[in-house]
Amino acid sequence: MALIELDNLEHQAVCKGRRESLGAVEFACLGKLLRYPDEVLSREELKMAAVSDTSTLTDRKLDASMKKIGKAVAALWPAYPLVRFVFPDGYVYTERPPKKKPE
């Protein structure tokens, strides 16, 4: 079972009883990321999940939406980031904590 779940009726992300409301684009993108955990999804894949006409959602707008998702998810699970940007053009949802850097 995933750490974060989506409430389709309220457009909210839910984690251990805590809730964060999301806009339509953010909700669709987070839903796509949750369906493919630990897989890097490109901006284009996320755009296609969020809107029917991908020309209306620019990379900049998508990045702004992903930033909102990151803040909402951090409010639900502050231990470590669950949604991360992966250079050069993707995002990933993972429930694995980041590896510690060797000292």
Give tens-digit pLDDT for 23-63: 999 999 999 999 999 999 999 999 999 999 988 999 999 99
Residue 99's pLDDT is: 83
Average pLDDT of the residues in 6-28? 95
In percent, the amount of the chain with pLDDT more than 90 equals 83
Question: If residue 90 lies in a helix (H) or strand (E), which one and from where to where?
Answer: strand 90-93
What is the number of residues in the chain?
103
Cα-based distances in Å from 71 to 13, 41, 88: 12, 19, 21
State which fold the 5-93 domain adopts: Arc Repressor Mutant, subunit A (1.10.10)
| Structural contact between residues 92 and 41, judged by C-beta atoms closer than 8 angstroms | yes
Spans of all domains in the chain: 5-93
pLDDT band at 101 (very low <50, low <70, confident <90, very high): confident
Burial class (CB in 10 A: 0-12, 13-18, 19+), 78: exposed
Is the pLDDT assigned to residue 1 strictly greater than 70? no
